């Protein structure tokens, strides 16, 4: 089973490293980490990731996964990257994204008329690609699976493992990787966070980031 992760500069590394850690444990999994030219890409954490393949030598994906990050703003305007995603998606059993990686699927034409999610700060932009936002960490619509922000990529991976292999396999992998979330603080979602915390975070980071993402999307549609 070929699992292809498409990377680009300024990717959010946990969007990728979370699900790949789990999906790589699927029986028969072959993971392919690809970039346009096979060169390393930067992450939002100050280090780089060296891929396994370039677009030219990547096999057909059974599972296609596109992570997000601030680099999505440039990625959706990268014709080679969007065309690669579009062509891979045609033959994939599952087309998936984490966080704002959904917008790359949107640029490739795979959100139109679909239910989807992404990071909470950008969900209002999903209708620009013809999608309907569903407020959940993982949203299934046919063979399209989208995950919310960052850590939800692990939930998405376990959901997909259960769907492909079985719930028992998913539970075993979950135990092997000791995924038993017990955050030290409440407030990891909009529902559990104070209005003040949400307001301050939006003002400091996401109002500007979402506006820039909207401009980038409007430029290509």
Task: Find out whether 45 and 76 touch, Cβ atoms under 8 Å.
Answer: no
Q: What is the pLDDT of residue 201?
A: 97
List the chain domain ranges: 2-220
The per-residue pLDDT for range 70-118, each reduced to its tens digit, is 999 999 999 999 999 999 999 999 999 999 999 999 999 999 999 999 9
Q: What is the pLDDT of residue 103?
A: 98
- Look at residue 99 and give its three-state secondary structure: helix
Q: What is the pLDDT of residue 7?
A: 98
Q: What is the pLDDT of residue 55?
A: 98
The per-residue pLDDT for range 27-51, each reduced to its tens digit, is 999 999 999 999 999 999 999 999 9
CATH architecture of the domain formed by 2-220: 3-Layer(aba) Sandwich (3.40)
Exactly one of 45, 58, 65, 99 is catalytic; which is it?
99
Q: What is the pLDDT of residue 48?
A: 98
Q: What's the whole-number average pLDDT of the chain?
A: 97
Q: What is the pLDDT of residue 209?
A: 98
CA–CA gap between residue 55 and residue 38 (Å, rounded): 7
99 is catalytic: yes
Q: What is the pLDDT of residue 38?
A: 97
How many other β-carbons are positioned within 10 Å of the β-carbon of residue 118? Answer: 31
What's the mean pLDDT in 1-20?
98
- Terminus-to-terminus CA distance in the chain, angstroms? 33
What's the mean pLDDT in 127-140?
98
Task: Find out whether 61 and 96 touch, Cβ atoms under 8 Å.
Answer: no
| CA neighbor of 146 nearest in space, from 175, 87, 106, 193 | 106
- Look at residue 131 and give its three-state secondary structure: coil
Q: What is the pLDDT of residue 77?
A: 98
Half-sphere CA count of 12, side-chain side, radius 13 A? 23
Q: What is the pLDDT of residue 108?
A: 98
pLDDT-derived band at 189 (thresholds 50, 70, 90) equals: very high
């Amino acid at each position: 089973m070929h699992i292809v992760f498409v990377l680009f500069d300024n990717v959010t590394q946990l969007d990728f490293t979370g699900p790949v850690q789990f999906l790589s444990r699927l029986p028969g999994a072959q993971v392919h980490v690809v970039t346009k030219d096979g060169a390393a890409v930067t992450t939002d954490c100050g280090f780089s990731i060296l891929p396994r393949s370039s677009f030219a030598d990547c096999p057909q994906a059974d599972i296609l996964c596109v992570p997000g990050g601030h680099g999505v703003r440039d990625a959706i305007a990268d014709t080679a990257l969007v065309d690669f995603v579009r062509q891979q998606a045609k033959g994939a059993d599952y087309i998936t994204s984490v966080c704002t990686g959904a917008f790359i699927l949107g640029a490739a034409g795979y959100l139109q008329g679909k239910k989807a999610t992404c990071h909470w700060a950008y969900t209002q932009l999903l209708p620009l690609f013809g999608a309907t936002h569903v407020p959940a960490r993982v949203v299934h619509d046919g063979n399209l699976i989208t995950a919310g922000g960052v850590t939800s990529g692990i939930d998405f991976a376990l959901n997909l493992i259960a769907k492909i292999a079985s719930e028992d396999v998913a539970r075993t992998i979950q135990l092997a990787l000791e995924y038993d979330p017990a955050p030290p603080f409440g407030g990891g979602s909009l529902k559990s966070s104070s209005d003040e915390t949400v307001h301050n975070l939006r003002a400091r980071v996401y109002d500007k980031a979402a506006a820039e993402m909207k401009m980038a999307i409007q430029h290509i549609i």
